[in-house]
Structure 1
Amino acid sequence: MKKILGFLLLIMLAACSEKGAVEKLKMNYPSVKKEIEQMSTEVQNKMAAPDFLPFQPKDVQLTYAAEPAGDPKGDILHTEFIYGNEKGSVLHVTTFLNKKATFNDEGEKKTTKLKDGTEVVIEAESSEVMAIRWRKDDVYYGMMLMGSEFKMEDLLKSANSMDY
């Protein structure tokens, strides 16, 4: 009996560890789960979140822009996970779902690459705010990290851990 229980526990732990970052957010934050489950399956399948965070969040929220405004079944333009802690650190992770989304790339932009070779545009890099954006599989993503204790490497580590 103990062997069977041990085997079942091992299977359950393995199953939990394989859940994606968005699924983990749904399990740990009921308000996020409620918002996600109101959206279409197509939108849910495109949502992405990082597995690595540069700080331990106290709270996570999900916001979105839709047409008509506030309608989770409408045309979702973008979704945004907002991770925050009590020390003022904030990480925004945005998925732009509108197929017409484009970015103004006029002028020279500083770029880098993710570990999979995806080119990343650095939007901001200061002592308080770092922001990047990139395109993967015809979907645009953006990340912004606020907090004086962080470096661009912290933001890129989160971007590299994205669970698409």
Structure 2
Amino acid sequence: MKKILSLLLFFILAACSDQGAVEKLKMNYPNVKKEMEQLPKDAQQKMAAPEKLPFQPKDVQLTYAAEPAGDPEGDILHTEFTYGNEKGSVLRVTTFQNENANFNDEGEKKTTKLKDGTEVVIEAESSDVKSIRWSKDDVFYGMMLMGSEFKMEDLLKSANSMDY
């Protein structure tokens, strides 16, 4: 009997550990689950979140932009997870849902690459704000890290840990 219970516990723990980053957010933050369940399934499937964060979040929020505004049944333009802590650090992870997402690439942009070779455009790199964007499987993502204690490498670690 003990062996069966141990084996059952092992499978439950293994199943929980295999959940993706977005599913973990739904499990750990009821407000995220509530917002996400209002969105169309195709929008939910495009959403991605990092496994590794540059800080321990106290709270995570999910917001979205839609046309018409505020209508989760309308055309979802983008979704955004916002991670925050009590020290003023913020990480924003945006999934641009609309296939017509257009970025202004006029002028020279600094770029780097993720571990998988994906090219990343560095949009901002100041003492307080680091921001990047990239495309993966025809979906555009953006990530912004706010806080003076962080470096671009911290943001790239999170981007490299994205669970698509």
Output the TM-score relative to the length of structure 2: 0.99
- C-alpha distance in structure 2 between counterparts of 1:102 and 1:136, whole Å: 14
Give the Cα separation in 2 of the matches to 1:99 and 1:27: 28
Distance in 2, Cα, partners of 1:12 & 1:127 = 44
AA matched with 1:35: E
> Which residue is 1:60 aligned to?
60
Identity among equivalent positions (%) equals: 82
Alignment partner, residue 27 of structure 1 = 27
Could you say what the CA RMSD is over the residues aligned between the two structures, in angstroms? 0.5
Report the equivalent of 1:86. 86
1:11 and 2:1 matched: no
Mapping of 1:9-158 within 5 angstroms?
9-158=9-158
State the shift of 1:4 in Å: 0.8
Can you give the 5+ residue segments of structure 1 that lack an aligned partner in the other structure?
none
> Which 4+ stretches in 1 moved above 4 angstroms?
none
Distance in 2 (alpha carbons) for counterparts of 1:142 and 1:39: 20
- State the SS of the aligned residue for 1:26: helix
Number of aligned residues: 164
Aligned equivalents of 2:132, 2:101: Cα separation in 1: 16
Normalised by the length of structure 1, the TM-score is: 0.99
The SS at the match of 2:150 is coil
Which runs of 5 or more structure 2 residues have no equivalent in the other structure? none
How far apart in 2 are the matches of 1:2 and 1:21?
A: 32
